[in-house]
Amino acid sequence: MIGTLLGLVPARFAPLTPKLLAAIVAQSLSQAAAYLLLVPTLEAVFDDDLERAWIWALCMLAAVVAFAIFGYLQASIGLRIAVGMQRGLQTRIGDHLNALPLGWFETRSSGRLSRIAVENVREIQGAVAYLVAKVFGGIVVPLGVALGMLLIDWRIALAMLLSAPVLFAINGVAGRAYQRADAHAHEAAAEADARVVEFAQAQSVLRAFGAVGAGNKALDSALHRQRAAIARQVFTSVPGLIVFALFVQAVFLVLAYIVVARVTDGAISVAAAIALIAVSSRFIEPLNLAAQLGNGLRAAATAVERVSALLDEPTLPEATVPVTPGAPTVVFDGVSFGYRPGEPVLTDITFSVPAGTTTAIVGPSGAGKTTLLRLAARFYDVDSGRVAVGEHDVREQPSETLLDQLSLVFQNVYLFDRSVAENIRIGKPDASEEQLWRAATAARVDEIVERLPDGMDTAVGEGGAALSGGERQRVSIARALLKDAPIVLLDEATSALDPHSEAVVVRGVHELTRGKTVIVVAHRLATIAHADQILFVDGGTIVERGTHEELLALAGRYADFWNERSRAAGWRLEPAAV
């Protein structure tokens, strides 16, 4: 575990790791030497040989000074590594998450990821700064005392060398139960964190259906499981500590018995016996401390496992050879893809989108329409076939090169808890104020900020909670307009908007797509009818393709879809006959 822990140290601080270990070992051996030097010092005092006593006392003082110096070195080095490790590890986790396929996040809760990136990293930091030195000391000091005791009395040394592994074995057995309880506590805490975040974000839904307070069974159940898991963790650790403490005291009694027996036999002096009993207690103390810190180290070990497992999650391979994008075209060539093995979502998809044209993708829910857009942006890698953007396979382009060619507007708009201006600038962080306002005006965001208390500087809340669905869509369109990429991937989301918001968003979309290469998952009839090419997708395959007129003349699936949507557009509620 220690090796894995130190393996997480950032490369910049890695050269400090051998120095930390050397300082810990030197400090521990200095401490062991100070304990052992008590024996000849007391013998000289009891023999009334003050000159010899002073010599041994000065040696003991030198060992104590060395202990203090090496202790300062290990503390300062450990703190430097721990501070650097927190920042470096969290940055590494962030970069790794940024390189994971989007599908990976769909089965992981934000609560669990937050706990790994914050709580587990903090536990690892504490282990490096404090626990590693204490636990190493708890091993090296008794070992040093036992080996040094060979020069004084081999029988006592043998008892020490035999008892130490037994104590650590007992501690290890108790520790495995604690680790299992700690794993349950982590899962319960992560679930509770996720439910608390959900509770805060979904207040409108919860209140509408009376699921607040005692009515929110999911949150109440998660908190109850967390309390039970923490209680189990505590009750699991206490018996192990009690049993270990009993064995520690038994070992001390055995050592004391051996010392007394040696005095009775006349093999050692009374002065030596007094010193040896004191040294025996010093031999026991680090073992006891190491056991008490063992649960903390096990928790850190579990944290290391979780962080390492997260960092071991496979990422999308990143191209390293620069490419120069060609014409803004998109090509799907024999593409098959599934989010899980053996469960295909798309099968043998082939089509091309010439530069400056619009391709509309229509079909029933779950047909794989949005997945096509995600593959074009390389949120995932295809299982077979190829996707080309700008005349290059997306897998052969550095991510920055690929995404520079694309503006993405999806159904689920996420806004950060920052100002309106900052959310728009994500599309182009170095944009001027004039460019910002031009994009905002084209998307009709200027109408929104006129009503906000701080205008463009108004914070929109977590996820954009302070804005309506249509307003969030306007901000997302302004973001895409500001980026001004040659290819637009658009998942229209106007069906749930009121007529005014829909009209405003549609005008923004027209501004965004003017003169661009567009792939749009279309919901509006007007968008579908004016597309240069229409793909009707069902069951993960393209079942029909052509222009609006060609597909209507075909009188197939698209024609049925069009007629159904046309009838639905004219639906209205009529008063019931009395």
323 part of a folded domain: no
User: Coil, strand or helix: which one is 398?
Assistant: coil
- Domain end marker among 245, 279, 311: 311
Looking at the structure, do residues 292 and 372 belong to the same domain, yes or no? no
292 part of a folded domain: yes
Percent of the chain's residues with pLDDT above 70: 78
Looking at the structure, do residues 163 and 57 belong to the same domain, yes or no? yes
Q: CATH number of the domain at 68, please.
A: 1.20.1560.10
pLDDT tier for residue 44 given thresholds of 50, 70 and 90 = confident
pLDDT tier for residue 578 given thresholds of 50, 70 and 90 = very low
- Spatial CA neighbour of 113 closest among 147, 90, 80: 90
Looking at the structure, do residues 366 and 431 belong to the same domain, yes or no? yes
**Res 139 pLDDT > 50:** yes
318 part of a folded domain: no
Looking at the structure, do residues 67 and 119 belong to the same domain, yes or no? yes
Looking at the structure, do residues 505 and 436 belong to the same domain, yes or no? yes
pLDDT in tens, 228-273: 776 766 666 666 666 666 777 777 777 777 777 777 777 776 677 7
Looking at the structure, do residues 300 and 334 belong to the same domain, yes or no? no
- Domain end marker among 252, 276, 311: 311
472 part of a folded domain: yes
How many domains is the chain partitioned into structurally? Answer: 2
Looking at the structure, do residues 402 and 443 belong to the same domain, yes or no? yes
pLDDT of residue 215: 46
Looking at the structure, do residues 190 and 46 belong to the same domain, yes or no? yes
Looking at the structure, do residues 304 and 337 belong to the same domain, yes or no? no
578 part of a folded domain: no
Residues 533-559, buried b or exposed e (16+ Cβ, 10 A)? bbbbbbebbbebbbebeebeeeeebbe
Q: How far is CA 333 from the centre of its chain?
A: 35
- Domain end marker among 311, 346, 378: 311
Looking at the structure, do residues 383 and 505 belong to the same domain, yes or no? yes
Which residue, chain included where needed, has tokens 């003050």? 50
169 part of a folded domain: yes
Q: State mean pLDDT over 517-544.
A: 87
**Res 575 pLDDT > 90:** no
Looking at the structure, do residues 96 and 123 belong to the same domain, yes or no? yes
pLDDT tier for residue 509 given thresholds of 50, 70 and 90 = confident
321 part of a folded domain: no
pLDDT tier for residue 573 given thresholds of 50, 70 and 90 = very low
Looking at the structure, do residues 247 and 334 belong to the same domain, yes or no? no
Residue 204 lies in domain: 2-311
pLDDT tier for residue 126 given thresholds of 50, 70 and 90 = confident
Q: CATH number of the domain at 353, please.
A: 3.40.50.300
Mean confidence (pLDDT) of the chain: 79
Q: Report the range out of 210-214, 331-335, 517-521 with the highest average pLDDT.
A: 331-335
pTM of the model as a whole: 0.65
Which residue, chain included where needed, has tokens 């070990």? 301
Residues 174-197, buried b or exposed e (16+ Cβ, 10 A)? bbeebbebbebbbebbbbbbbbee
320 part of a folded domain: no
